[in-house]
Structure 1
Amino acid sequence: MTTSPETVDAPIDVGEGEEGLAKGSITLSGVLFVSIATMAPGAGLAYAIMTGSLFSGGALPLAVVGATIGCVLVAVGIAQMAKHISTAGGLGSFVGRAFHPALGFVIAFCAPMFYLAALPYLALVFGNLIGAALFPQGGAAYKATWIVAGLGCLLISGAFNYFGAAFSTKAGVILGSLEILVLLGMSIHMIMAAGSNNSLSVFTTEHANVEGFTGISGVIAASVYAFLAFIGFEAGAPLAAETKDPKRNIPRAIVWSAVIVGLFYIVGSYAASTYFGADKLFDFMTFNEGDGWIGIAKNLWGAGWIVLLLALLNSSVACANGASMGGTRHIWAMAHAGTIPKVFAKTHPKWKSPVSAIYLMFGIGAVAAVVGGLLWGPVPSLGLFGTIIAVIALPVHMLAALSCPVYYLRYRRSEFKVVVHLIIPVLGVLFLVPGFFVGAGIPVFSFIAPLSWPISLAAPISLAVYVLAFAIMAYLVVKKPEALSALSDHGHTGEDGIVAEDLVRAHPHTRTPSVKPDVALEAG
């Protein structure tokens, strides 16, 4: 049996005609930086990572190391799925293929929901940064500024998406590189300025001195918040339909984005701990009215703090660009399979971007940002949307990681390796569990604090999203079961609803008459 390079390398679900995506338009560097930018490493370090200092104190770098290990473990499990399944359905296809198409739809439905929540979150971060910089006293001028600036953030990132995958990923490479270089340069400057305060003791529990969270309990609590800064490393998975050699490049992008950003977070948290002072880092979040990194930049760079401000603004745009790419591809895949209205599978005739999904995501994101900001203020609202991201995303990541051992045991037992396909993803899931309970405000651990208003709305909103997903899934099971299978298998199924590639590998002597021989081994 022979196969053409296109059959081997190209995903099978790119669509045809006006519903097609731009197959093979994204390179490894492009998909890598989409994953990196979706994590928003600049804003992630300045805000999410540093929130952990409230619990760990000067032992924050140790907590970040733990979060990095957990994230990379999960990334390895998801990457092992991406080696064989290349679809725009992303994590939903992984879960649907491993467990059941119905559960795969639930994941495919919920994945764009946390990407959607990222858009108002980032718009509010962007708007508040500009509004606070121009009008620190607040008032009507501040309000008008954050609204206009926040909508501008969404307009820019929406334009990147509109002009196609190649354009938006190139923008992601540039934006992602800039924010990392600026924050990394500042971190190195901080380490040098710390002088004799530099010490490896911050990688132990010696400085975990927050009252009520001393020792390892504070480190564990901080690692939970640090892990939230990693959400987005999987954003490259739904871009498989547009990526060159996706079975090689998507797994690499998923793992290496987690490794690169993890090392960046470790360096940044070490710099903050040693420069600010390991024994007083628990006060970092109140320094400079909550903008600690801006305050340090003013001390070190003087008027050059504007460079850091621009990097954080850039981080917001880059993250919105990456999140919308991941979310719109999930929506496109569901529409293309027929699980949601086909109108959302429409693509631009020239740019091959999923324009209907783009309009939907950015329209809802803009309304949510303005309404939330006006109701509760930009800062409380971005806290709400950020928590929604975590509560919806963590179960999605857990099931995606657990799909690895299930899939390999069911369909690729000859390739199954206990460490890579079982121990690593299961350990990664164990790292995620505390983060879910923290975000949902469920006090099963002593370090989980009650959530303030309006952040306390995150749990019921997230629950409503999952209830809606299961309700639609129940309808599809009864009325359109073929659409559920199409989402996971994209129409290339064998006699028992198993994808041809998996069926052939599980039963090497079985020929599937419904699939052409030249694609039987590469239909994943």
Structure 2
Amino acid sequence: MNAVEPQQKLRRALTTPLLTLYGLGVTVGAGIYVLVGATADIAGPYAAFSFVVAALVVSLTALSYAELATRYPVSAGEAAYVQAGFQRNWMAVLVGLAVAASGVISASAVAIGAASYLHALTGVGISVLTISVVLLMGLIAIWGITESVVVAAVITVIEIAGLLFVISWGMSIEEPQGYALSSMMPSLDIDVWRGIFAASLLAFFAFVGFEDMANVAEEVKDPVRTIPKAILLTLILATVLYLGTSMTVLLVVPIDVLSASAAPLSLVFSEAPELIKQGFSAVAIVATVNGVLIQMIMASRVIYGLADRGHLPKTLATVPQTTQTPVVATLLVVATILFLTQTLPIGILAERTSQIVLGVFVLVNVSLILLKMKPSKSEEHFHVPLFVPILGVITSTLLFGAGFL
């Protein structure tokens, strides 16, 4: 069975700017809004550099995605690439389950971050708020949601504007309480770099999502030219934003306060007028809650798809006529997220998400290596040298192992 032949079913409407905006929408947001503190707890003043290391690892696999998405411009994503490379149906199923698991665990981490920002705004207990966020987003996912490009663009602009506001406000503070910019450059000490690499696994979480761009490949105009440009633009812009944001927070906030916070960016505004504090909290809540919903919808659809094809119990493919959404699959996702948010801390959840995604990255890169070793039916696609997926495998494996340092 060949499930990766590109059969055009959807209208090609996404240009480079729109695809880049979509890429920024699914990449920028929850990760950077909730994880700077946990990253700083491991890497100290060098936390910003962990985002650079994570970006370098991601960029190699991003180039592999660029070739695969132009070889197979379909909506099947990673499962299609792995099936094409390995010619094993069970491996495609395994990748599908891994992607669903990453969405569930990611949503759990982000839900805790959303609750932390809501706590700063309302004073209600974080545990109660976390449960409330998950249940509310679950209801929305069950009833269905159609996010137009315009709505997605507005959310993206709000998230990016929030980060730019953090940078501009933080840099204007006259007496910052954190590290001097000069002390953020790492030395060659082995222990320093051990901390940077260990923190990079958390920083990597902030880049999770760019790979979703491959899932809209069937709706992209001129995918051979558009997809590679949009992927690279997304990563460059995200890296610049993350570097600026993390350096600003490290500059402004004392490390002991920063490392203990699940809502780290709000700390930049500790001395700001109440209206500014509340305004930024609202932006952060939009960024994080939206992340919970997107991951919840993605995970439930993957589980539904696997069940519909007979790889999981058929009950999970139930779609009531009244909602026309995968209700049973969504309820399973919601229940799992509730369990994870109440049993595991945000740092552990983010690490597990990163490790699962890195495992998928390894399989995707190996798939491209295998495909490059076979005669290609068509040369009408973006090409990367063979060393790119090879380095993608090596760097993704090393970053996976960094979590055990």
TM normalised by structure 2 equals: 0.81
Match of 2:7 among 12, 22, 37: 12
Q: Which residue of 2 aligns with 1:127?
A: 115
Amino acid at match of 2:243: I
Say whether 1:299 aligns with 2:271. yes
Say whether 1:268 aligns with 2:245. yes
How far the C-alpha of 1:132 sits from its partner, in A, is 5.2
Q: Residues of 2 paired with 1:101 and 1:436: CA distance?
A: 24
How far the C-alpha of 1:48 sits from its partner, in A, is 2.2
Amino acid at match of 1:79: A
User: Secondary structure of the equivalent of 1:97?
Assistant: helix
Q: Which residue of 2 aligns with 1:233?
A: 210
Match of 2:92 among 84, 91, 104: 104
Amino acid at match of 2:292: A
Q: Residues of 2 paired with 1:86 and 1:348: CA distance?
A: 31
Q: Residues of 2 paired with 1:332 and 1:11: CA distance?
A: 22
Say whether 1:406 aligns with 2:370. yes
Q: Residues of 1 paired with 2:174 and 2:259: CA distance?
A: 19
In structure 2, the gaps of 5 or more residues are none
Answer yes or no: is the 8 Å Cα contact 1:346–1:354 preserved in 2: no
Map 1:308-387 to 2 at 5 A. 308-324=280-296, 326-327=298-299, 330-331=302-303, 334=306, 339=311, 355-356=325-326, 359-373=327-341, 376=343, 380=344, 382-387=346-351
Q: Residues of 1 paired with 2:390 and 2:101: CA distance?
A: 25
User: Secondary structure of the equivalent of 1:190?
Assistant: helix
Q: Which residue of 2 aligns with 1:151?
A: 135
Once the two structures are overlaid, the 10-residue window that deviates more, 190-199 or 217-226, is 190-199
Answer yes or no: is the 8 Å Cα contact 1:55–1:282 preserved in 2: no
Answer yes or no: is the 8 Å Cα contact 2:116–2:263 preserved in 1: no
| 370 and 338 in structure 1: CA distance in 2 versus 1, 3 angstrom threshold | closer
Say whether 1:74 aligns with 2:61. yes
| 231 and 296 in structure 1: CA distance in 2 versus 1, 3 angstrom threshold | same
Q: Residues of 1 paired with 2:11 and 2:313: CA distance?
A: 23
Amino acid at match of 2:84: R
Q: Residues of 1 paired with 2:195 and 2:174: CA distance?
A: 24
Q: Which residue of 2 aligns with 1:257?
A: 234
CA deviation map 1:424-444 (0-9, x unaligned): 2332333322442355xxx4x
Amino acid at match of 1:270: M
CA deviation map 1:326-385 (0-9, x unaligned): 445645665676655788789999xxx9833xx344322322233444x53xxx354554
| 324 and 76 in structure 1: CA distance in 2 versus 1, 3 angstrom threshold | farther
User: Secondary structure of the equivalent of 2:374?
Assistant: helix
Q: Residues of 2 paired with 1:403 and 1:428: CA distance?
A: 11
How far the C-alpha of 1:33 sits from its partner, in A, is 4.1
Answer yes or no: is the 8 Å Cα contact 2:55–2:239 preserved in 1: yes
CA deviation map 1:460-508 (0-9, x unaligned): xxxxxxxxxxxxxxxxxxxxxxxxxxxxxxxxxxxxxxxxxxxxxxxxx
How far the C-alpha of 1:306 sits from its partner, in A, is 1.3
Say whether 1:175 aligns with 2:139. no
Say whether 1:205 aligns with 2:186. yes
Map 1:432-443 to 2 at 5 A. 432-439=396-403, 443=404
Answer yes or no: is the 8 Å Cα contact 2:104–2:336 preserved in 1: no
Amino acid at match of 2:136: G
Amino acid at match of 1:66: V
Q: Which residue of 2 aligns with 1:397?
A: 361
| 405 and 343 in structure 1: CA distance in 2 versus 1, 3 angstrom threshold | same
| 172 and 317 in structure 1: CA distance in 2 versus 1, 3 angstrom threshold | farther
Answer yes or no: is the 8 Å Cα contact 1:56–1:214 preserved in 2: no
- RMSD of aligned alpha carbons: 3.8
Q: Residues of 1 paired with 2:132 and 2:19: CA distance?
A: 30
Amino acid at match of 1:205: P
User: Secondary structure of the equivalent of 1:182?
Assistant: helix
Q: Residues of 2 paired with 1:168 and 1:355: CA distance?
A: 18
How far the C-alpha of 1:395 sits from its partner, in A, is 0.5
TM normalised by structure 1 equals: 0.65
User: Secondary structure of the equivalent of 1:76?
Assistant: helix
Say whether 1:420 aligns with 2:392. no
Amino acid at match of 1:44: G
Q: Which residue of 1 aligns with 2:41?
A: 54
Answer yes or no: is the 8 Å Cα contact 1:38–1:323 preserved in 2: no
Q: Residues of 2 paired with 1:344 and 1:247: CA distance?
A: 36
Answer yes or no: is the 8 Å Cα contact 1:98–1:404 preserved in 2: yes
Q: Residues of 2 paired with 1:328 and 1:245: CA distance?
A: 30
Q: Highest Rg: 1 or 2?
A: 1
CA deviation map 1:49-79 (0-9, x unaligned): 3322223222222222121111112111111
Aligned residues: 398
Amino acid at match of 2:41: L
